[in-house]
Amino acid sequence: RYAAPSSRGNGSGADAANAQELQAAINAAGATPTRIVLADGRYRGYYSIAAGASALVLAAANPRQAVISGSDVVTAWT
C-alpha cells in the first residue's frame, strides 16, 4: 500500500489531509500484514491502529523525506 500526501509540508494546512491519507492506509490494512510506503511529505496527526491488527510496517520511499508527527503547530507565540 502507498500513502501519497497532498502537501509537501509547506504549512498550508494540507498536512491534515496527509494524515487522513495515512490513516486510511492503516485502516485498510486490517488483520493482513502490511507495508505502507510513504511518499515524501509531512504526515501530521494522531493515528490509531485497531486491536487485533497484524504486523504493520511504515517505510519512507526516500530516506528522511517522509515525516510522521503528532504535534500541533503553534504560531505567533511570544
Exposure string of 12-35, with b = 16+ CB inside 10 Å and e = fewer, is eebbeebbebbbebbeebeeeebe
Comparison of pLDDT for 64 and 71, the residue scoring more:
64
Name the residue with cell 498536512.
Answer: 15
pLDDT digits (tens, 9 = 90+) for 22-68: 888 888 887 888 888 888 888 887 888 888 777 888 889 899 988 88
Instruction: Provide the whole-model pTM.
Output: 0.68
